[in-house]
Structure 1
Amino acid sequence: MAWSQSRKCAGTIKDHLWGILNAVVFEVSNGPAEGLNSRIKMIKVRGRGFRRQTPIHELIRGSLVFLW
C-alpha cells in the first residue's frame, strides 16, 4: 500500500473513530436500515415504466405500510 493511501486510511479512521467505537461497544447494527433501503430500491425497480411519479409514490407508500 502506498504511503498516501495509508495516510488517507488513517485519516478516515481518525475522523470516524467515535462512531466506530460506539458501534462496537453498543453492538449497533445497520441491518434494519439496509433492509428498508433494499425494499425501496426493489419498489423503484418495479415502478419503472410509469409515465408519472404518482404511481411510484403510491407503490412505495403501500408497500411500506406493512413494515410498521
Structure 2
Amino acid sequence: MPIILEYAKMRLQDIKAETQQFFKAPLDYVLSRQILRKALLLEWLDNVRPVLGTKYEHFIEKGVKG
C-alpha cells in the first residue's frame, strides 16, 4: 500500500507543478502541449509508415495531407 501512496503523492506534485506553470503563462502552456501532441503524432506516423499497401494505409494518407 505505501507504494500506491508514494505514487499518489508524486502525481499530486506533478499536477501542482503543471497547474502553477499554466497560471504563470497559460498561452505558453497550451502551445507547448499542442507542440508535444504534434511531435508524438509525427513520431507515430514515422513508425507506421511501413504499413503502406496494407489496410492501414489510409492512416498515412490522412497524416500526410493534414
Q: TM-score range by the shorter chain?
A: 0.3 to 0.5
| TM-score normalised over the length of structure 2 | 0.44
| TM-score normalised over the length of structure 1 | 0.43
